[in-house]
Amino acid sequence: MSAPELPRGYHVENLSRLLNSVMDQYADLLEENEHKLFSGFQCLSAQGKSLYYRLLTRRGQAIRIDKLNYADIDDLHSTMQELCRSDMATINSHLEPDALLNLLTRQELVKLFPIAGHSKLAKHSLIEHINQHHKAEILQSEIGQHYPYAEALFQPAFETFKVCFFGNSHQDLTEFVVNDLGHVQYERYSLCKATRYFQTRQQIETQISYSNAKQQLEDSSLLQDKNALIALANSLPLPDQHAHINRRYQRVIITIARQLERLTHLDAALALYRQCNLHPCRERSARILRKQGLEDESLHICSQIVEQSKHPEELEFALRFQGKRQQAQTWQNHNLHLPNSGASVEIQAACALSDQQHKCYYVENSLINGLFGLMFWDIIFSAVNGAFINPFQRAPLDLFSEAFYERRQQAINNRLALLQPALNQPLKQPPAALLPWQQLILDHFHNKEGLANPFVYWEQLPLDLLELAITSIPAADLHCIFIRILQHPGLFRNGFPDLIRFSNTGYELIEVKGPGDKLQANQTRWLKYFQKKGIPSSVVWVSWLDGDTR
């Protein structure tokens, strides 16, 4: 099947959509240059818009004019003149020497700036020598004369538009292309001024600062410089009450603190950790205090975690650090001896556990997550302040945090209540007797099929499996599982058992471990929870009949 063809002028249409969307939501927060970018773009001809798009989205600050060649631009010279007359582009503007010299190939540099004995140098070394032997004004004049270049104006303004549209600095207009090609189909949700992400200009500037800091932290030399790291942390503006921007701030601070800790600057790291409340700040603080010999302070933090935290990883750490015994395992364990066919151990176990009375499926995280995503689909994509910032989101920004439930508590509780009357209903109802929650899941399956939702893996969720699951898994069990996921969707969407086994009397969730495998922390959390709630589950330990240890 051939890929769909993009329509002529799609790139201009996509840029227009981005600019228009930001103006609709944020016109009151934009500054003069940003308004000039918008109005200037609207006044360009179709070919002018096309060329401006190319200049704006090319890598680097400027591009050589002799490298511009586009089928949809008939007269490049006159179109470039239009951009210059409209103050949307400039030719041969001032550039830093390195940026200027990098517009040329190595061979072009040697020809334009011959330096005896240096013709064989690598390009970066050649640029160093040229900079040493020629003044910046000479470089500007010579390159501009022989290799004229163009630069789109309002590039910083466009970066602000992108931050307003995407909520970050790393996404770009390729998101439109992915959508246009059908690689990802997004749910349609409300985007309006009333629920916009940014409420003040300061929030926009703050977000840009955090994005810039995140990019700086990719510089390996900065990561080895204690003073530069501390200066970067101190330069960050403090966030206001915007929950998501606050989380971004904390993530940057945690990254800096963790690097300072690696460099053994423990006091500086500890001071930064104490500014944050996201996990693992308290864990890292406790570890640092123990390293510094401050055992009482370290254990005091652990006591606070045990009393206050709902984060399972943080709680497990605190109990271990205090030397307290963890809850002993209570789940069932079974041994399964199989000939090794070469297929995955999970597939082989599923086949071995299937017979005339049992159907066994390899589902891992896909089934339970799929049921959750379908049960709460409309709530996931409901209009909540700051949850959706552009049309290209697979989920609201807060989906994987504790805030997801807190900000939709009433709607979620009402949805969970659909399971309540069904808690004691007999299983295996005939299709005509589907309960409202079952019908809701099926309706969402049929109406939303193919749309992006991080909980629903469409290719791994066939209709027959879905129908079997909703008529075999008791509502009481799903109620317990969904409540657990809602505590922290980002943490609890992983670690589900590999298999589900159905019979005439019910179902069982089965974790499969091959030779040498161990249970992971997220798996043991679910197994303990299942045992506590009486949800049928077990672990099957597979060994090969031929003694293979793979």
pLDDT at position 245 is: 94
Name residue 367's beta-bridge partners. none
pLDDT at position 1 is: 45
Percent of the chain at pLDDT above 90?
80
User: Which backbone phi and psi does 332 adopt, to 5 degrees?
Assistant: -80, 145
Q: What's the CA gap between 201 and 30, in Å, rounded? A: 7
Tokens of 432: 């005509």
Q: Are 333 and 539 within 8 A, CB to CB?
A: yes
| Average of per-residue pLDDT values in the chain | 92
Q: What's the CA gap between 308 and 314, in Å, rounded? A: 10
Q: What's the CA gap between 121 and 127, in Å, rounded? A: 9
- Give the pLDDT confidence of 136-155 residue by residue, as tens digits: 999 999 999 999 999 999 99
What are the sequence ranges of the domains in the chain?
10-179, 191-321, 332-544
pLDDT at position 427 is: 54
User: Which backbone phi and psi does 488 adopt, to 5 degrees?
Assistant: -165, 85
User: In this model, does residue 330 exceed pLDDT 90?
Assistant: no
pLDDT at position 194 is: 87
What CATH number does the domain located at 191-321 have? 1.25.40
Higher per-residue pLDDT: 418 or 1: 418
What burial class does residue 326 get, using C-beta atoms within 10 Å of its C-beta: 0-12 exposed, 13-18 middle, 19+ buried?
exposed
Residues 6 or more apart whose Cβ sits within 8 Å of residue 331: 527, 528, 530, 531, 537, 538, 539
State the alpha helices, DSSP H only, in 363-408: 366-375, 377-380, 403-406
For residues 506-510, average pLDDT? 96
Q: Are 267 and 291 within 8 A, CB to CB?
A: no
Tokens of 342: 């070469």
Tokens of 54: 């190319």
DSSP H or E stretch at residue 506: strand 506-513
- Give the pLDDT confidence of 248-268 residue by residue, as tens digits: 999 999 999 999 999 999 999
Tokens of 326: 């963890």
User: Which backbone phi and psi does 156 adopt, to 5 degrees?
Assistant: -60, -35
Q: Are 288 and 270 within 8 A, CB to CB?
A: yes
Rg, Å, the chain Cα set: 29
Q: What's the CA gap between 335 and 331, in Å, rounded? A: 13
For residues 475-488, average pLDDT? 96
Sequential DSSP letters for 75-90? -HHHHHHHHHHTTSEE
- Give the pLDDT confidence of 464-481 residue by residue, as tens digits: 999 999 999 999 999 999
Q: Are 190 and 228 within 8 A, CB to CB?
A: no
pLDDT at position 176 is: 87
- Pairing status of strand 332-338 against strand 537-544: parallel
Total residue length of the chain = 550
> What region, left, alpha or beta, does residue 386 occupy, with left being phi > 0 and alpha being psi -120 to 50 degrees?
left
pTM to 2 decimals? 0.87
